[in-house]
Structure 1
């Protein structure tokens, strides 16, 4: 569905078009090598945000370079596309490493006959310019488990083997009802579909409020990929989904437990320091002209609320388990300071 089209049926998210895996041993044909791959993202996109968080927590910034697209997108041949612009640090509107203006060029380098959608994240092989994967879930799990000695010393175990079944089961419910549920509500073709979608969203938020009332993290005593999958939706909720997508039964900030949990994560290295709320608001309100034809970008809410005390440490556990916090954000990747 194009950004300026009124939906005629419920949004259905297509499976990832390219799913090559990169591992330390290269058993799927693509070995993990320093400098070989570039991660193309939008700071606005929740799916891309998951991968950016994981990359930072695992200390892969020095191994996998980052390219950030413009949150406004550009209409090319009738479709909105993720593009590089001067405003996001790409001289001449081309990524300085890949030499491309639009991410779709990496898709077409991989498959000149490709006619499907173009999404972020895009994991691109710098050597040949081919898109390797746009499978955000697999990218997260492989970055967390498959990069061997290239991860930083003290990197956390984000996908513990003993907890994987529980993580996957809970993450699947969160994805269906909440991560994708907000989109089903926002792009609902009629009242019936909207009512069903928004009911799923808030039923899942209600369940998470109860689940997190006695535990600091979703599964286990430290951050896992389950938390990484939930956070990007929560951090966008009041800024975009509550108003723009009509998910307005309650704000995230009206859930005492979830709001504290989200602030706890935001204040943890890897989460808030990879979040650009200006890009979030700009993208959603500017691009989705079928929902917001005036392209007026909402001013709030005040992002400084994310820095207030949460007291979640009283529940025990620690963010990185037996690991340590990542170091400072690389200078070229810093997001605006909220203070």
Structure 2
């Protein structure tokens, strides 16, 4: 059981703590951490939308052999995410039981959030960064020496300004917007977040009615960031966070767009719906005191035809789809849409 953690702000509006470790892993190593194959470990939880971005980008770029991945369980307590999925409850590479240990190894007095995704320096056991927005950009731009043949350009220079503009409003109104609704402590704060969220979803529907992806004809960083919220919408945000004007499945353009991405290699094959639902419904006890996890919704719709290819476009630009997942990183069949 997870208890003792409060997420709702009784004073009103939820404000996300965005104090992340800004150290970067770069090709030139200017922060003291150069890109090196095998040196670092990406720690994620499949439950977390922010970590899910890094899982998808790592897979699309083919960085599995260069950057190993540790998967924490779907729930956590006040101290941090734990490696309860691994034998003995320890990450097999880092040898730690809690992600917190890597943060305290670098910063003994660390007082900010212990969040995923995080990248840990394996030789020292020290966390390098948990700056989720920068992590995926750096995987695209700094780790090019280890990208697979045919890796897509997820943050191409020609589209960067457009991607940044879309990312800014999607983060504020959608990615974080669902949390602002779910963790609102007053009716006024909830109404404000709810209206802002659905106004932005309507805006996105209009944009995507005319083009296959957010920045045009190919998948970019912007699509990765929106997808990880949309894929959780009906399973948790609609009910648990009261984002219930409509289900995603009742928003025709966004539902087709999300299914298009879900059925693209690198997206849906990273999604563990069991972990997603367990995290939100078991951890947020101030919203769901019983900890009961709902059985629904029906997930078979994710695999139905989407017809988005009629808009044209090339999902991977000049690149190619990633190869099948290794058995070690496959989501259990009973946790996936089928």
* Same fold by TM-score greater than 0.5: yes
Contact 1:16 1:134 in 2 (8 A): no
Aligned position for 1:330: 326
Aligned position for 2:60: 57
Aligned equivalents of 2:130, 2:300: Cα separation in 1? 32
Q: CA deviation at 1:206?
A: 0.6
Taking structure 1 as the reference length, the TM-score comes to 0.95
Structure 1 regions of 5+ residues with no counterpart? none
Aligned equivalents of 2:139, 2:39: Cα separation in 1? 14
Measured on the aligned residues, the alpha-carbon RMSD in Å equals 1.3
Aligned position for 1:12: 15
Aligned equivalents of 2:68, 2:19: Cα separation in 1? 22
Contact 2:183 2:241 in 1 (8 A): yes
> Is 1:103 the equivalent of 2:105?
no
- Which residue among 50, 69, 81 is the counterpart of 1:66? 69
SS of 1:124 mapped into structure 2 = strand
> Is 1:208 the equivalent of 2:204?
yes
- Which residue among 264, 267, 270 is the counterpart of 1:271? 267
What CA deviation, in whole Å up to 9, does each residue of 1:141-186 have, x standing for no partner? 0101111221111100100111111110111001000100100100
Contact 1:3 1:80 in 2 (8 A): no
Aligned equivalents of 2:7, 2:207: Cα separation in 1? 38
- Which residue among 225, 229, 233 is the counterpart of 2:225? 229
Aligned equivalents of 1:5, 1:150: Cα separation in 2? 39
Contact 2:155 2:221 in 1 (8 A): yes
What CA deviation, in whole Å up to 9, does each residue of 1:7-56 have, x standing for no partner? 22322112243121112232332111111110111101000001111000
Aligned equivalents of 1:109, 1:11: Cα separation in 2? 30
Aligned equivalents of 1:210, 1:285: Cα separation in 2? 32
Aligned equivalents of 2:32, 2:83: Cα separation in 1? 29
- Which residue among 44, 48, 52 is the counterpart of 1:41? 44
Aligned equivalents of 1:204, 1:108: Cα separation in 2? 39
Taking structure 2 as the reference length, the TM-score comes to 0.96
Residues 4/152 of structure 1: CA separation in 2 closer, same or farther (3 Å cut): same
What CA deviation, in whole Å up to 9, does each residue of 1:74-100 have, x standing for no partner? x3xxx2521011xx2x11111111011
Structure 2 regions of 5+ residues with no counterpart? none
Query: Higher mean Cα deviation, 6-15 or 212-221?
Result: 6-15
> Is 1:24 the equivalent of 2:27?
yes
Aligned equivalents of 1:196, 1:81: Cα separation in 2? 31
Paired residue total: 332
> Is 1:178 the equivalent of 2:174?
yes
What CA deviation, in whole Å up to 9, does each residue of 1:216-258 have, x standing for no partner? 0000210000001100000000000000000001110111110
